[in-house]
Amino acid sequence: RITSALRNLQTGREFKVPKKVSRKRSSRDVTEVPPQKKSLSDDWLQTFAPKKAEDLAVHANKIQEVAKWLEISEENFSKKPNPILLLTGPAGCGKTATVVALAAEKDYNLVEWVTPIDTFRQYRDADEEGIEVEESKSEKFREFLFQASRFKSLFRKSNKRLLVVEDFPNFLLRDPQAFSSILDTWQISGRCPLIFIVTETKSKQLNISFNLFPDSLRSEYKISHISFNPISLTLMKKALQRITSALKEEPYSQVYKQPVQEVVDSVISSAMGDIRNAILNLQFVSQKDAILTIDIERVEGQKKGKGKTSAKLKTVGRDETITLMHALGRVFNPK
């Protein structure tokens, strides 16, 4: 066609450009896009995390104490010293979940410290030899407290910021005096509330609250202290009921089954007040191919002939926390 068109140009003949044949698109030409389904996450701790204070499995008084502290901190924003809160309690008692839920309700931009991995910077001296210098975690922690409290995020409209430290750097545990020096700097340069979340342990050597936050330090820096208790059976049952009711709907019903009440009760009793442990065990027993072994125990009442039965799952449960001397006693004097 191109050759014939060139010949027509040379001879002066007129040529017509063939018109493009248009064809109406039929419904067959349109590819139907299937509706997107909800993504099924394997992390139930994130999927069923409480979004509001009403969904928290924490005593109402503790929620009100934290909410009241946030209100007072916001009212006294321009005053010194900067507000600091210490939250303590056993594992899985809802400390972090309470802070996250209340921060979302009060429109706080939550900024959490995460201990970074060891990093090195390379320098070159006059002899063009490379020198690697390890970055100090102490300086990184100081920079975090300074920058996160002063510079707001570009992706958030709210200017209110709330700093949370739950993962304590190792250098603070080795040198508590360094922590006191950091708090001195924070009292001067901090621009937002600061919350420390500490999980209590029976061993004083591993208890961060005992080693880093003695009474003298709390009094010097006016650190407020709120202690959480283990989750009660009633509140934990209510929280797990909210999760099991969601298993009836898509897409959870394709992978999980709704466990019977006897299994749910055994999960609650085995968790010993740890809501995180209860949710993970509930996810395990809710799988369709889960094999469960239930041990039925009869607890006798005070009156003759009366008693109640309690079910315990042998396949799930929380590890019992005991002291070193208690563990040695079980080894040398087994029963």
- The reported pLDDT for the residue numbered 174 is 84
Question: Tell me, what amino acid is at 195?
Answer: I
Does one domain contain both 97 and 209? yes
Tell me: do 203 and 284 sit in the same domain: no
**What is the CA angle 108-111-112, rounded to 5?**
135
pLDDT recorded at residue 254: 85
pLDDT digits (tens, 9 = 90+) for 247-284: 888 888 888 988 999 999 999 998 999 999 999 999 99
Q: Which residues touch 311 (CB under 8 Å, ≥6 apart)?
A: 262, 263, 265, 266, 294, 295, 296, 297
Looking at residue 78, which CATH number applies to its domain? 3.40.50.300
- Dihedral of CA atoms 168, 171, 175, 178 in degrees, nearest 10, equals -80
In terms of Cα–Cα distance, which of 120, 93, 139 is closest to 236? 93
Angle ∠(151,153,158) on CA atoms, nearest 5: 100
Q: Which of these three, 183, 198, 227, is where a domain ends?
A: 227
My answer on whether 158 and 186 are in the same domain is: yes
pLDDT digits (tens, 9 = 90+) for 163-211: 999 989 888 888 888 899 999 888 888 888 999 999 988 777 778 888 8
Count how many domains the chain has: 2
Kindly report, residue by residue over 96-152, the tens digit of the pLDDT.
999 999 999 999 999 999 877 655 555 555 555 555 545 677 888 888 888 887 766
Is 129 within a domain?
Answer: no
Residue 21 belongs to some domain of the structure:
no
Q: How many other C-beta atoms lie within 10 A of the C-beta of residue 141?
A: 21
Domain boundary, last residue among 227, 252, 267: 227
Q: Which of 227, 247, 271 corresponds to the end of one domain?
A: 227
Please identify which residue in the block is written with the tokens 């209100």. 71
Instruction: Clarify whether residues 254 and 272 are in a common domain.
Output: yes
Q: Residue range 306-317: average pLDDT?
A: 52
Residue-wise pLDDT tens digits, 230-256: 999 999 999 999 999 988 888 888 889
**Model confidence over 7-63: pLDDT tens digits?**
554 554 544 545 554 444 444 443 343 444 455 667 899 999 999 999 999 999 999
| Range(s) of the domain holding residue 246 | 233-292+314-332
Q: How far apart are CA 244 and CA 173, in angstroms?
A: 41
Q: Residues 213, 282: one domain?
A: no
4 domain residue, yes or no: no
